[in-house]
Amino acid sequence: MLIVTTNDLPGYRIEAVLGEVMGMTVRSVNIGANFVAGIRSFAGGEISEYTQLVYESRQQVMERMWQQAVQRGANAIVAMGLDTGDIAQSFSELCAYGTAVVVTPIAEGEPGATAQSIHDARTRAQAAAQPQPPAQPQPAQQPQQPQGFQQPYQSQPYQQPPQQ
């Protein structure tokens, strides 16, 4: 699945708009992390306990947004954004949102084609030409993934920058 902050996807044609998708979480840091972060705030610099909390929250809301898009049959999300807020003094809210769409790559020789879309169009054509084994029934809990971009949302785990 492609997720972009732009309103369009260069090299791809938006065939269907499936609506807004979002993921949200409200988080709190445990009292021990708050205590350590409070001590670190006197020295200045990054407070890694809060950085880790924000990073994990971002991963969670992106995954939730991705799941909604897959459930609707999308293979891309455009106009993705993040919004944050505070609830009382102890809680942080994070929301990822975007528009779920179905896109098809623009093939070589067509106006608007890019190297990525040409490669994607070729890969899809080769996959369609291969004989497919009989479909196995899927468990009801798992949504069917649309053709193309079938990797779940993932990114690298947060790694704290070296101390200087």
Residue 64 belongs to what domain range? 2-124
The answer to whether residue 69 is domain-embedded is yes
Within a domain: residue 18? Answer: yes
CA distance 125 to 104: 12
How many other CB atoms are there within 10 angstroms of residue 147's CB atom?
Answer: 12
CA distances from residue 44 to 37, 41, 160 in whole angstroms, order as listed: 10, 5, 16
- What is the CATH classification number for the domain harbouring 75? 3.30.110.70
Any domain includes 159: no
Q: Are 152 and 142 in contact (CB under 8 A)?
A: no
CA neighbours within 13 Å on the CB side: how many for 147? 10
Please indicate, yes or no, if residue 134 is contained in any of the structural domains.
no
Q: Work out the average pLDDT over 75-97.
A: 88
Rounded mean pLDDT of the chain? Answer: 81
In a domain, 142, yes or no: no
119-160 pLDDT, tens digit per residue, is: 999 998 888 888 877 777 766 555 454 444 445 555 555 555
